[in-house]
Amino acid sequence: MKKYVFLLFVVFPLVACNQSAKPVKSVEKAIVVPAFSADSAYEYVQKQVDFGPRIPNSNSQIACANYLSDKLKTFGAEVIEQKSNLMAFDGTTLKSINIVGSFNPKAETRVLLFSHWDSRPWADNDPNPANHKKPVTGANDGASGVGVLLEMARQFQIQQPTIGVDIIFVDAEDYGPNHEFTGANAEDFWCLGTQYWAKNPHKVSYTAKYGILLDMVGGKQATFLREQISEQYASNILDKVWSQASSLGFGQYFVNQKGGMITDDHVYVNKLIGIPSIDIIQYDNNSGTGFASYWHTINDTMENVDKNTLNAVGTTLMHVIYNEKAN
């Protein structure tokens, strides 16, 4: 240390006599964002579909839950399985399994990424009434969001973000009322796993800087509009994500236009636990439901999942996460 100080005193006067001082420019280290693999994400979607419909209380549910939990552990996450018994609209007790994978668990600055992993028990939006009692495969509605998050988790293991990230696969989202239900509070019978987690988070006093929900993010030529409940609670996060997508050349997917108000998992994360959260969800202007024509039908299969869409969503979120700075 003494030698270093001595050199400073000797050198600086000589420099000062011969030239004027120049301002020192700070140089920020370039952020390297790992490449998102759409092929890998697609395989994760396919793997879920291969288990069959992931309906609460089914063997497929148990098998897929074990798979998702094991994958997160393989990728280095601290994993918690949150099991609960939840009451469905028809009085059925649903054995729900929320799966939480935490990366960089000691980091104070955290971002929540979540998607439902269950699929609908009934294809009650199918144009053929004979299919209304059949289960939905849920390739796009459920499996696509989980596939994107699994691929992101794989990348987190290779290069850890500077912030903490919590990935939650929530259950019992799609066991909502069918068309025959005439009871009250129909909306609150959807997203049951998320409602439970928001009231009973996996860690006491858990919070996050913001949350991003992925729902139906694999459809061909999908468009994602600015969902209005997201706008109400977290417009700045919509700005962040949509701006990032545009800068990466994905503006045809993330369309900067007003969308509808959708009852989805993010509603309860906003209202019950107070984490400002947005919903990235496919919107179809040409559909009477606002969703893709195969939504809640027997045709929600792998043929409707597109790697290009998975890449647009996954790459955008990778850049959002790796550019997020710790407080």
Q: Within 10 Å of residue 202's Cβ, how many Cβ atoms?
A: 17
pTM tops 0.85: yes
Contact 38, 310 (CB under 8 A): yes
pLDDT at residue 143, as a whole number = 98
Residues of the chain with pLDDT under 70: 1-29
Domain boundaries, the chain: 36-322
Nearest to 296 by CA among 146, 136, 88: 136
Bridge-based pairing of strands 164-170 and 93-103 is antiparallel
Left (φ > 0), alpha (ψ -120 to 50) or beta: where does 222 sit? beta
Left (φ > 0), alpha (ψ -120 to 50) or beta: where does 153 sit? alpha
pLDDT at residue 31, as a whole number = 85
pLDDT at residue 28, as a whole number = 57
Nearest to 305 by CA among 296, 292, 287, 288: 292
**What CATH number does the domain located at 36-322 have?**
3.40.630.10
Contact 203, 128 (CB under 8 A): no
